[in-house]
Amino acid sequence: MAGRLSRLADIAVRVEPLPPASGLGGGVAAILTELVGLLERLANGAQSAMIDLRSLPMSPIDRAELQRVLGEGEVQATVDAEGISRIRETRISGLWWVEHRDRQGELIAESIEVARVPEILASAADEIAAGIRALRVQISAAAGVRAC
């Protein structure tokens, strides 16, 4: 049979170069497109949203490119609760880069939150209620001291 390949070495192979690292890879472009949609929904009154970066197949080059495109904003916050959480506003209003680390400093979660204010910074209703009780105790204690 003429033309039939009988050995693996007979298969023609062509090596394609990788796209340049300076451009937006398909994954980064897809994330940015998704962020635009989420921001549009937020601007129109929708709830906050989040993209879990650790669940995405991103290379270190993709991650660096995403960080470069989004840039650094004006606001940064650190929360110390069962490990350190770092919240950074990006250059794009409404996009927040959020990293959560365990007590040993290992990165356990990383996301981009699309929100007016990141959820981790918002006070929970039960925490507000506890704050009210604590203030009432302080007021009562101060009133008791003045009555003496």
pLDDT digits (tens, 9 = 90+) for 90-126: 999 999 999 999 999 999 999 999 999 998 888 889 9
**Angle formed at CA 94 by CA 89 and CA 95, multiple of 5 degrees:** 55
Burial annotation 106-129 (CB, 10 A radius, 16+ → b, else e): eeeebbbbbbeebeeeeeeeeeee
Mean confidence (pLDDT) of the chain = 86
CATH number for 26-121 (one of 1.20.1080.10, 3.30.1550.10, 3.30.1370.140, 3.30.390.30): it is: 3.30.1370.140
Is the pLDDT at 17 greater than 80? The verdict is: no
The pLDDT of residue 11: 63
Which residue has better confidence, 143 or 90? 90
State the pLDDT confidence band at 142, using cuts at 50, 70 and 90. Answer: confident
Contact 37, 53 (CB under 8 A): no
